[in-house]
Amino acid sequence: MNDFKSKFTQDFIEDGRWHFITDGLINTIIITILALLMGVLIGVIVSIIRCAHDQKDEKVRNIPLSIANAICKIYIAIIRGTPALVQLLIMYFIIMVSAKSKLLVAVLTFGINSGAYVAELFRGGIMSVDAGQLEAGRSLGMSYVLTMRKVVLPQAFKASLPALINEFIALLKETSICGYIGLNELTRGGDIIRGTTYDAMLPLLTVAIIYFILVMIISYLASLVERRLRRSDKR
């Protein structure tokens, strides 16, 4: 017991080393939330473009839409075909080499990365909605975008919610690679303590427990949202 107290004091209390964990946790949460919001925005736009292209009349040539669809397909292929770590390093050392904020680099990288995966999630959700509903909206005089926003996307969101929560959890854990650009996120915070005190067990176990708690909170909140959506469908 005394040995545990001395290690706990050494790892977290001395020199205020617990700040490495708390500061890293704050950065992890900020990156995850902002990147997910950015990813959802990109994903919705890309999925609408791709679905609009797939659903258009083959006899009607729409060159701008075809170009936009091609760009979206290239974007998805590149992001899904390369590791997130490589994307982060390219963003930090090549594209945004003069950036002063490592946090901004991380948010942009993970937001762009998440957008490709969210786009495919939403595209699947949109395609699962009966095509007749889109046609009904258009027959009532609604534009394609308005029909998507008012009729199709809400249903697509419900269908995509479980996969979107999985993306949220994966994104949370993926932020652990930010230490490669020297950003103090949760994992790096624990590793800094390990490198300072030469004690790996307490700092890294603490990091693992915090990640586990965060994932459990997200899963619990997601289950509440799913239950509420189910109730609203029954009414």
Domains and CATH numbers, the chain: 26-182 (1.10.3720.10)
Per-residue model confidence as pLDDT tens digits over 29-80 = 999 999 999 999 999 999 989 988 877 655 556 788 889 999 999 999 999 9
Q: pTM above 0.75?
A: yes
Across residues 96-108, what is the average pLDDT? 93
Residue 79 in contact with residue 116, Cβ under 8 Å? yes
